[in-house]
Structure 1
Amino acid sequence: MPGCVEIIAHRGARSLAPENTLAAARLAHKLGAHRWETDAVLTRDGHLVLFHDETLTRCTNAAQVFGYDSKAPEKTVWPGPGAIDRLDSHPLIDLQLLDAGGWFEQKDPYATVPEIAPHILAAFKEEPIPTLYDGLVLTKELDWRINLELKDHGNEPEPNFHPARVLRELARSGIAPARVTLSSFKHDWLRFLRQHAPGYEIQALVGDRDEEPLNFNDPVFTSAEFEVLNINALLVTLSDIRALKAAGKRINLFTVNTLHDYIRLVNAGVDGLFTDFPQRFISPV
Structure 2
Amino acid sequence: MYARAATTVALLGAGALVLPLSTAAAQPGSAPTSAPASSAAARHDRPLVVAHRGASAQAPENTFAAIDRARELGFTWVENDVQRTRDGELVIMHDDTLKRTTNVEALYPDRAPWKVADFTAKEIARLDAGSWFSPKYAGQRVPTLKQYLRRVSHNHQKLVFEFKRPELYPGIEKQGLRVLRDTGWLDRHHVTGKLVVQSFSADSVKKVHALRPDVKTGFLGTPAVADLPKYARFADQINSTHTSISGSYVSAIHARKGPHGKPLEIFTWTVNDGPAAVRAARFGVNGIITNTPDVVRKALRDS
Superposition TM-score, scaled by structure 2 size:
0.75
SS at 2:179's partner residue? helix
Among candidates 117, 120, 138, match of residue 151 of structure 2? 138
Tell me the CA shift for residue 233 of structure 1.
Answer: 1.3
1:48-127 alignment to 2 at 5 Å? 48-67=90-109, 76=110, 78=111, 83-105=112-134, 121-122=135-136, 124-127=137-140
8 A Cα contact 1:13 1:276, kept in partner = yes
Output one character per residue of 1:241-265: Cα deviation in whole Å (capped at 9) or x when no partner. Answer: 2332234421110100111111121
Q: Which sections of structure 2, spanning at least 5 residues, go unmatched?
A: 1-44, 257-262, 299-303
Count matched residues. 243
Amino acid at match of 1:228: Q
Partners of 2:79 and 2:231 in 1: CA distance = 26
Tell me the CA shift for residue 216 of structure 1.
Answer: 3.2
Among candidates 189, 197, 219, match of residue 204 of structure 1? 219
1:2-13 alignment to 2 at 5 Å? 4-13=46-55
Q: Which sections of structure 1, spanning at least 5 residues, go unmatched?
A: 68-75, 106-120, 208-213
Partners of 1:48 and 1:222 in 2: CA distance = 27
Partners of 2:177 and 2:89 in 1: CA distance = 13
Q: Which residue of 2 aligns with 1:243?
A: 252
Tell me the CA shift for residue 222 of structure 1.
Answer: 6.7
8 A Cα contact 2:51 2:293, kept in partner = yes
8 A Cα contact 1:256 1:262, kept in partner = yes
Tell me the CA shift for residue 172 of structure 1.
Answer: 1.8
SS at 1:282's partner residue? helix
Partners of 1:5 and 1:37 in 2: CA distance = 15
8 A Cα contact 1:183 1:202, kept in partner = yes
Tell me the CA shift for residue 219 of structure 1.
Answer: 4.3
Tell me the CA shift for residue 37 of structure 1.
Answer: 0.2
8 A Cα contact 1:220 1:226, kept in partner = no
Tell me the CA shift for residue 224 of structure 1.
Answer: 4.4
The Cα RMSD (Å) is: 2.0
Amino acid at match of 1:99: D
Q: Does 1:268 align with 2:278?
A: no
